Copies of this chain bind each other. A is one copy, B any other.
Amino acid sequence: MEYSINKLSKMSGISTRTLRYYDEIALLKPVRVASSGYRIYGRKEIDTLQQILFYKELGFSLDKIKKFLTAPDFDMETAFNHHLVELLNQRERLDGLIDNVKKSLAAIKGEITMSDKEKFAAFAQRLVDENERKYGAEIRAKYGDGTVDASNERVRGITKEQYERAKRLNTKFEETLKSAFATGDPAGELAQKACELHKQWLCIFYPNYSKEYHLGLGELYISDERFKTNYEKLAAGCTEFFREAINVFCKE
Contacts and interface: CB of A to CB of B under 8 A. Distances in A.
Contacts of A87: 94, 97-98, 101
Interface stretch (A24-32, A130-138, A176-184): A130-138
B98 A219 contact: no
Q: Is the interface of A mostly helix, strand, loop or mixed?
A: helix
Contacts of A109: 77
Given A13-B133, A134-B13, A219-B11, A101 B46 contact: no
Interface pairs A-B: 6 shortest CB-CB: A47-B223, A11-B216, A59-B97, A46-B223, A80-B105, A91-B94
A81 interface: yes
Contacts of A115: 73
A75 interface: yes
A11 B238 CA distance: 21
A121 interface: yes
Contact of A43 (B100, B104, B222): B222
A90 interface: yes
A216 B12 contact: yes
Contacts of A102: 84
A22 to B, nearest CB: 16
Interface of A: 10-13, 43, 46-47, 50-51, 53-54, 57-59, 72-77, 80-81, 83-84, 87-88, 90-91, 94-95, 97-98, 100-102, 104-105, 108-109, 114-115, 117, 120-121, 124-126, 128-130, 133-134, 137, 140, 145, 149, 152, 212, 215-216, 219-220, 222-224
Contacts of A51: 121, 125
A4 to B, nearest CB: 14
A54 B125 contact: yes
A30 B154 CA distance: 35
A145 B12 CA distance: 12
A98 B125 contact: no
Given A13-B137, A84-B98, 6 more contacts: A11-B216, A50-B125, A57-B128, A58-B104, A59-B101, A76-B120
A97 B80 CA distance: 12
Contacts of A84: 98, 101-102, 105
A163 to B, nearest CB: 18
Given A11-B216, A84-B105, A57 B129 contact: yes
